[in-house]
Structure 1
Amino acid sequence: MRQDRKSLAWSTLLEIDSQPEGPLHRKLCGALRSAVVAGRVTPGSALPPSRVLAEDLGCSRWVITEAYAQLIAEGYLEARSGSATRVRATAAVPNQGQPRSNPQISVPVEFEMLPGMPDLRTFPRKRWADAVREVTASIASADLGYPDVFGHPRLRERLAAYLVRGRGAAVSADDVIVCDGTLDGVVRLCRALRSAGHTHVAVEDPGWSRLSSAVSTVGLTPVPVEVDRDGLRIDRLRANTLTRAVIVAPAHQFPTGTVLTPARRAELLHWAREVDGLVMEDDYDAEFRYDRRPIGTVQGMDSARVVLMGSLSKTLSPALRIGWVVAPPRWAEALREAAVAVTPPPVIDQLAFAAFLDAGWYDGHIRASRLRYRSRRDLLLKEMASTLPDLEISGAAAGFHLLLHLNDCDAAQAVRRAARLGLRLVDLDQYRMSARTGPPALVLGYGNLSDASVPEAVRRLAEAVRGKGTGTSCG
């Protein structure tokens, strides 16, 4: 049951005083997180508007928006345009007495085919440990003090060199700001946009839902823009005259797997110049292209109009929490002015990654990962062609996810049947914004699926899709 936000006494519900010492926004974040995990605020519950909660708690609205943004990034909350911020339906909460016979609970997950997760088994543990050990032994005493909020200069230099060499970006060390990841970069940029008078930000539809949630939390309105087989529809982007900023993943769009065509790239940059706008380029999956060399960045085509964002989440591990933003001078200055309120990744981790780049280990890891994912993708396609030959598969030969189109099948039912078979899947509808339903499809991730498990995972996928033994079928 959803709780009405007006019925909750938030000032007493949130145990802020029991949180560890620190800034108020962090204490509030911890209190909200604890309330969700403990089940005091149930999935689907609406949270008060930031202004209302700020009045109740006697603090600034900034404290509330910071806490909301952090919990959206962590997956506890979600925000949609025109609606309240709510506890995500899949937020981690206790069992709360659900019967053990529930098939979603009792069947253990044996195969994960959720998108967006790299092969965690191949994280270079020894080399990373060696880099951390070396850095810890040699770090200057001054570097053990309060960190540079823009990132350690050594990492910024190494990152700039890598982005020029590996991604075709136009960047110097002074342009790089080290952050916690892509979402952190989006939140910082959206604050700068709001301060500059922007009210709307376009996002790809379907797309990564946390991006639109982050836009909403900062106080801007996310505008869904359709994605087709050539990438973002620039004509639909032009149609909203209130929008002068857009978040786009040109190298490999999530979740459709499309690549922004050269014509659309040129049209996107023309739009940005025409409206004096900003393109926020999410360099998602850019390193992993299997049918040709990875394409260069849009930022390299116009560094005055494009912000480049990237992270280690898909190349090494999301646990490292290291990302970067490369911004034009106008926006870099705005980001620096707001940087006093942010905390960069730990300095030792930053320096370890710089050492990783220096030694050539990062480039070597990318090359090995590219071969591994290509082989796994080929194996997955071969198994699916044999088991589900009548269903269309789409998505560029890149990254580590693809789309399985289900014709007239109910994708949500297929997901539920898969769960009863120990297989975790996700429905494409979970990533749609403007229309909550569309042609049924599954987003299949294979990054963290071992090669040996692919045949059995596909067999169970086919059973879930066909509805074997249920009297229904898809195809």
Structure 2
Amino acid sequence: MAESWATSLDLHLELRDPRHDGRGLGAALTRELRDAVRSGRLAPGTRLPSSRALAADLGVARNTVADAYAELVAEGWLTARQGSGTVVAERARSRRTRPRAVPEPTHPLLPGTTYNLMPGSSDVSAFPRTAWVAATRRALTAAPSEAFGYQATSGRPELRWALADYLARVRGVYADPSRILVCAGIMQGLWRMAEVLRAQGARRVAVEAYGLAEHRSRLTDAGLRVSSLPHDEAGVDPAPLPELGVQAALLTPSHHFATGGTLSPERRAQAIDWARAEGGVILEDDYDGEFRYDRQPVGALQGLDPEHVVYLGTASKSLAPGLRLGWMVLPERLVATANELGSSRWQVSTVDQLTLAEFISSGDYDRHVRAMRTRYRRRRDHLVAALAQAVPHVRVSGIAAGLHVLLEVPAGTEEQVIARARREGLGVAGLASLTFGTPKPVRHAIIVGYGTPPDHLFPGAVAALCRALNNQRGNN
């Protein structure tokens, strides 16, 4: 517990600096703990580990931790009572401090909700701060002066070259740097592609029967109409594409959102055949392509026909959504239009682009993804094992990849399960809320994301979910 607690707060950044003597270690720890309380990372009422446990975790003397605790108690940041341990003081809530920068979650939780198990989010507490800062320093040192002037709408060449190498190596994408456009995440990239398609004469786009309403909104806001592709046990069915009269199709072929399946080779070929025959464009949303657990990663659809597929990727799942970093790999015929329609409002910070380029080129990105893959797989295994033991009647699917699982529930009970989960302090989503264009859902399920809670909260979230599902069974 102490290890995950300290790691989630990054309380080890300065403590092993060889320049610190014993007194310097205490001052560094006091400063980091004070900052954690001030910024809100340590909320009022949070219980801190014992001085012995935290000292062992950080590799410092116990007195160093005890002195830091004592100083913060004296300052009013912490309280300590015999037998109750050390906790963050409630009065810390009312201190006049610098406002916290709290990123708005992709799926805001309802009031009173403790655990965020909504799909589509990653564990932002695991953001590699130390490695990112080091990459920023290296990138800025090497950057030419012109990098800090006005930039081309396609993005910095350093990042486009780094992405071209990475995507070809890891996702099987044909990614010439001249075809890559850097954007502020997939949502903004989708908006930009909708404008490009509209300028190219497209009027209608097909989307999967299950998917995010925000995706459909990006398309319709650009003046495009959307049609639904049916979904069955084998996943999305591209067979109706010729009959729909669409010029483009938005698909999640490597890991369907939200059922978790992978588009079969036969249906992949069917989608590509339609695009070639009709001159259509497939928009491939590869939102979590790095996270595969029980099989080799499935290559991107774009590799089958780079001239008919737009590949959309993002750092939101692998690093953090707050970076607002994404990319598109375009067919050659769309590059000029995409650049002409670009403007300064679409540009991503040059510093962030240079940093990500250095982060990828140095190997730090690969190392971080490997570490997160191990962490998420461990969480998935914990979740699946707990469900199998506590609620064996619940069918779990979509577990081979990504950051969420699908839990099948009896027809007509989806909203009841969600309500019971909320009473347990859980935020979960229902599959019905993602349905588009069908009279009723083909499947009845809730979607449980296991990426967001930090490690020290995850066991509690899983236990609460099992209680909610057991309560549901008792009322059926």
Q: TM-score range by the shorter chain?
A: 0.7 to 0.9
Is the 1:465–1:473 contact (alpha carbons within 8 Å) kept by the matching residues of 2? no
Is 1:259 aligned to residue 265 of structure 2? Answer: no
Aligned to 1:133: 137
**2:358 aligned with 1:355, yes or no?**
yes
| Aligned-pair CA distance for 1:280 | 0.8
CA pair 411-314 structure 1, distance change in 2 beyond 3 A: same
> How big is each residue's C-alpha offset from its partner over 1:320-361, in whole Å with a ceiling of 9 and x where there is no partner?
011111101111121011113643110000000011011100
Amino acid at match of 2:212: W
- Aligned equivalents of 1:341 and 1:131: distance in 2? 25
Name the Cα RMSD after superposition.
2.1
Residue 215 of structure 1 aligns with an amino acid whose one-letter code is L
Q: Does 1:379 align with 2:382?
A: yes
Partner of 1:425: 428
Kindly provide the CA deviation profile for residues 15-46 of structure 1, in whole angstroms up to 9, marking residues without a partner as x: xxxxxxxxxxxxxxxxxxxxxxxxxxxxxxxx
Counterpart among 199, 203, 207 of residue 203 in structure 1: 207
Which of 411, 414, 419 is the matching residue for 1:411? 414
Q: Which runs of 5+ in 2 are unaligned?
A: 1-103
TM-score normalised by structure 2 residue count = 0.74
Q: Which runs of 5+ in 1 are unaligned?
A: 1-73, 77-89, 93-103
- TM-score after normalising by structure 1: 0.74
Matches within 5 A, 1:46-65: none
Using the alignment, how far apart are the partners of 1:376 and 1:267 within structure 2?
35
2:405 is the alignment partner of 1:402 = yes
What secondary structure, in the 3-state scheme, does the structure 1 residue paired with 2:304 have? coil
| Structure 2 counterpart of 1:176, from 173, 176, 180 | 180
What amino acid is the match of 2:131? R
Count residues in correspondence: 372
**1:111–1:424: 8 Å Cα contact kept in structure 2?**
yes
Q: In the alignment, what sits opposite 2:195?
A: 191
Q: After TM superposition, list the pairs within 5 Å mapping 1:228-377 onto structure 2.
A: 228-240=232-244, 242-340=245-343, 342-377=345-380
Deviations 1:74-130 (A, max 9, x none): 999xxxxxxxxxxxxx889xxxxxxxxxxx63x3x3222111111212110001011
User: Closer, same or farther in 2 for the Cα pair 1:401/1:272, shift >3 Å?
Assistant: same
Which residue does 2:475 correspond to in 1? 473
Moved more, 225-234 or 424-433: 225-234
Contact kept, 8 Å, 1:229 with 1:258, in 2: the verdict is no
Task: Measure, in 1, the Cα distance between the counterparts of 2:279 and 2:440.
Answer: 34
Is residue 152 of structure 1 aligned with residue 161 of structure 2? no
Q: Aligned in 2, Cα 1:372/1:196: closer, same or farther, shift over 3 Å?
A: same
Question: Aligned residues: percent identity?
Answer: 36
The whole-number CA distance in structure 2 between the counterparts of 1:446 and 1:436 is 30
Distance in 1 (CA, whole Å) between partners of 2:406 and 2:446 is: 6
Q: How far apart, in 2, do the equivalents of 1:228 and 1:158 lie? A: 38
Shift of 1:133: 2.4
**Contact 1:253–1:284 (Cα < 8 Å) also in 2:** no
The answer to whether residue 127 in structure 2 is matched with residue 118 in structure 1 is no
Matches within 5 A, 1:221-232: 221-232=225-236
Indicate conservation of the 8 Å contact 2:193/2:338, yes or no.
yes
Rg larger in structure: 2
CA drift at 1:140: 2.4
Contact 1:183–1:214 under 8 Å retained in 2: yes
For the residue of structure 1 that corresponds to 2:475, the secondary structure is coil
